[in-house]
Amino acid sequence: MKLEVNGEHRDVTGPTLADALTELGWGEARVATALNGAFVAKGARGGTDLNDGDRLEVLTPMQGG
């Protein structure tokens, strides 16, 4: 299915958010996720199914003031 991941088009198989993260190379990474603007907790990724056209944000720790 086609997703928009951090603003870029990506093709993933899914079907869950956890599967997609592994596919995208973030399986073990320290990231936080939001799907279509709504927060998805670490523990809920395995039970969150993706749909074509979903908008996924994958965030990491970054410098900040």
Contact residues for other proteins, defined by CB under 8 A: 6-7, 26, 29-34, 37-39, 41-42, 57-65
Burial 27-46 (b: 16+ CB within 10 A, else e): eeeebebebeeeebeeeebe
- Give the separation between CA 16 and CA 20, rounded to whole angstroms: 6
Minimum gap (Å) between residue 26 Cβ and other proteins: 7
Name which of 11 and 65 has its Cβ closer to other proteins.
65
Minimum gap (Å) between residue 45 Cβ and other proteins: 10
Q: Retrieve residue 63's tokens.
A: 């410098």
Minimum gap (Å) between residue 13 Cβ and other proteins: 20
